[in-house]
Amino acid sequence: MVRTLLPIALVVGVGFAPVCARAQSQLSLKSVSVDLPPGDDMFPNGPGADAINNNCLACHSADMVLNQPALSKAQWEVQVNLMRTAYKAPIDPKDAGAIVDYLVSIKGIK
């Protein structure tokens, strides 16, 4: 019985192959849009606020940074350099010092 069903299954499979191939060629891709939650928050005004708003908000929110623990100036320098070198953050090197000074002024160890 298996010997008779195998050729029939083979013929049926070959017969449906063009239909299956045709179905695969009708695949279409559609663009989708995603609504992200509003992230209008900026860093509070102060010396260096423009530098941090222009460089750091490209990757993460102000709230994420403002909720970090207070760090020393040396620790903030390490973090800013880590963002630039390891994570390839688009931080202009001339703004790095202003960003560190700003972070120390609002989230520095007192």
User: Which residues have C-beta within 8 Å of that of residue 91, sequence separation ≥ 6?
Assistant: 55, 56, 80, 83, 84, 99
Q: What is the pLDDT of residue 82?
A: 95
Q: Which domain holds residue 57?
A: 49-107
Residue 87 scores a pLDDT above 90: yes
77 in any annotated domain:
yes
Number of domains the chain contains: 1
Which CATH number characterizes residue 63's domain? 1.10.760.10
Q: What is the pLDDT of residue 22?
A: 55
18 in any annotated domain:
no
Rg, the chain, Cα only: 29
In the chain, pLDDT over 70 holds for what percent of residues? Answer: 78
89 in any annotated domain:
yes
pTM (whole model) above 0.85:
no
In the chain, pLDDT over 90 holds for what percent of residues? Answer: 54
Residue 57 scores a pLDDT above 60: yes
